[in-house]
């Protein structure tokens, strides 16, 4: 343990506390952040591959696995439901690449 050292550091660039577990699939680390941001990071180098920022703020992003597929869901708030009411919630779902 005395010889362990960080390989890289990734700055989230967001304000707020973060309590999440990153997912690593095929050498890519997927990190969810406060404010509905999600980033894909090269797990070997720490280089950002892509970042998704949604303008509407809602609940923090969630990650889960179904039948071996990994997903990230971002709740983006209410949208116009039937008849123009704002009662329908909107969730954006990202299926991570299969490796």
Query: pLDDT tens digits, residue range 7-43?
Result: 999 888 877 777 777 888 888 888 888 766 888 899 9
Q: What is the mean pLDDT of residues 43-71?
A: 80
Separation of alpha carbons 75 and 62, rounded Å: 9
**pTM of this structure:** 0.59
In a domain, 89, yes or no: yes
In a domain, 51, yes or no: yes
In a domain, 3, yes or no: no
In a domain, 91, yes or no: yes
In a domain, 14, yes or no: no
**Predicted confidence band at 52 (pLDDT cuts at 50, 70, 90)?**
confident
In a domain, 16, yes or no: no
- Count of domains for the chain: 1
In a domain, 66, yes or no: yes
If DSSP codes are grouped into helix, strand and coil, which group holds residue 36? coil
Please determine, for residue 81, whether its predicted confidence score (pLDDT) is greater than 60.
Answer: no
Bridge partner residues of 40 (DSSP):
30, 50
Please determine, for residue 2, whether its predicted confidence score (pLDDT) is greater than 80.
Answer: yes
Domain extent at residue 82:
23-95
Separation of alpha carbons 56 and 76, rounded Å: 6
Query: Which CATH number is 83's domain given?
Result: 2.40.10
């Amino acid at each position: 343990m005395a010889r362990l050292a960080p390989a890289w550091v990734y700055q989230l660039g967001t304000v707020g506390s973060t309590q999440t577990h990153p997912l690593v699939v095929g050498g890519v680390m997927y990190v969810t952040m406060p404010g509905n941001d999600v980033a894909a990071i090269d797990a070997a180098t720490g280089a950002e591959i892509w970042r998704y920022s949604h303008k509407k703020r809602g609940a923090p992003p969630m990650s889960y696995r179904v039948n071996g597929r990994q997903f990230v869901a971002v709740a983006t708030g209410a949208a116009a439901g039937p008849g123009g009411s704002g009662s329908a919630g909107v969730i954006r779902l990202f299926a991570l690449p299969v490796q």
